[in-house]
């Protein structure tokens, strides 16, 4: 590719521009929105469901051998939600999460269309709530069988 560009410059078909002055600063072509537009309460509910599942399963199958795997899973959950939370607070990120009132009033726009607050909450929380229900069912079955 550089060979082709060199030939075009030599023929006079292309021109070379100097670097812009450093005083202009870095210009980003794409402004990144690192926020998903959901209120923090939905993230907190998701974290509560995941940790609730671990508490249910951990208490139903209490075993000293499960202490290290449970601790690792708790650390992974903290990392999965902590790193994006830090990422949204970076200096270049101008957007902020929606408040609960804004979320209820306006909903959220997704790739497939506009969702009300209830519809978006259902989509976000369906898997964590089902996970808690599954943990309860497994704990109940284990209790009845034992």
What CA–CA distance (Å, rounded) separates 143 from 58?
13
The reported pLDDT for the residue numbered 79 is 96
pLDDT digit string, tens, across residues 72-112: 999 999 999 999 888 888 777 777 788 899 889 998 888 88
What CA–CA distance (Å, rounded) separates 146 from 128?
27
Q: Return the closest-CA partner of residue 117 out of 128, 109, 108.
A: 108
**Which single residue is written with the structure tokens 């794409």?**
30
Q: Which residues of 68-78 are buried (b: 16+ CB within 10 A; e: fewer)?
A: eeeeebeeebe
Confidence of residue 3 (pLDDT cuts 50, 70, 90): low
The reported pLDDT for the residue numbered 75 is 97
Query: Is 52's pLDDT higher than 80?
Result: yes
What CA–CA distance (Å, rounded) separates 69 from 91?
35
> Three-state SS for 15?
coil
Kindly report the average pLDDT of the chain as a whole number. 85
Query: Is 45's pLDDT higher than 70?
Result: yes
DSSP secondary-structure letter at 65?
Answer: G
Residues 93, 32: contact at Cβ < 8 Å? yes
The reported pLDDT for the residue numbered 36 is 78
The reported pLDDT for the residue numbered 143 is 93
**Which single residue is written with the structure tokens 């994006």?**
84
Helix axes 67-88, 40-60, angle to 10 degrees: 180
């Amino acid at each position: 590719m550089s060979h082709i560009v060199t030939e075009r410059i030599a023929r006079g078909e292309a021109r070379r521009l100097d670097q812009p002055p450093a005083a202009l600063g870095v210009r980003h072509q794409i402004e990144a929105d690192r926020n998903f537009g959901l209120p923090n309460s939905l993230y907190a509910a998701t974290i509560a469901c995941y940790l609730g599942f671990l508490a249910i399963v951990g208490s139903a199958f209490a075993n000293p051998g499960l202490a290290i795997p449970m601790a690792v899973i708790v650390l992974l959950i903290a990392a999965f939600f902590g790193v994006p939370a830090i990422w949204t607070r970076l200096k270049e990120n101008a957007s902020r999460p929606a408040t609960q009132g804004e979320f209820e009033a306006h909903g959220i726009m997704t790739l497939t269309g506009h969702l009300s607050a209830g519809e978006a909450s259902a989509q976000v929380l369906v898997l964590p709530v089902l996970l808690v229900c599954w943990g309860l069912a497994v704990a109940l079955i284990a209790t009845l069988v034992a």
